[in-house]
Amino acid sequence: MKIHLTSIFVDDQAKAEHFYTEILGFVKKHDVPLGEQDRWLTVVSPEEPGGTELLLEPAGHPAVKPYRDALVRDGIPLAQFAVTDVRAEYERLVGLGVHFTQEPLEMGPVTTAVFDDTCGNLIQIATQPQ
């Protein structure tokens, strides 16, 4: 068994496509129309085109909003991405107008930061020792 795909809910798939590709730098892998409005929209890291796909899933279910609102209020991220330098990535993203709820924080061997993906989620970036 392996983790092939994981998903996060997004308020607006077009906005999410922009943020996850243009701002974060992922590349689109699949984009298939589903019904009238929704799409099967996935992105992958350019560093790992055959790696785990992230599905940007429409947040239409009524349970999604209260669930995400409660997590966002407490600053809890819904996904974590690995970067080689959290501080450099923080500077790059702040320059692109991204809002962080937690600035880079060194905690022993791990450095983390948390930002808002503009689609309803908080995302953590982290570096870990090799």
Distance of CA 122 to the CA centre of its chain: 7
User: Residue 105: which of 120, 119, 126 has the closest Cα?
Assistant: 126
Among 11, 25, 45, 102, binds another protein (CB under 8 A): 102
Residue pair 79/6 in contact by the 8 Å Cβ criterion: yes
What does 14-33 look like in DSSP terms, one character per residue?
Answer: HHHHHIIIIIT--EEEEEEE
User: Residue 79: which of 19, 14, 30 has the closest Cα?
Assistant: 19
x/- mask, another protein, residues 3-42, rule CB under 8 A, reads: ----------------------------------------
Among 27, 34, 88, 105, binds another protein (CB under 8 A): 105
- Check binding of 107 to another protein (CB under 8 A): yes
Residue pair 9/58 in contact by the 8 Å Cβ criterion: yes
x/- mask, another protein, residues 50-79, rule CB under 8 A, reads: -------------------x--xxxxxx--
Binding segment for another protein among 20-28, 36-44, 57-65, 96-104 (CB under 8 A)? 96-104
Contact residues for another protein, defined by CB under 8 A: 69, 72-77, 101-103, 105, 107-108, 110, 112, 114, 116, 122
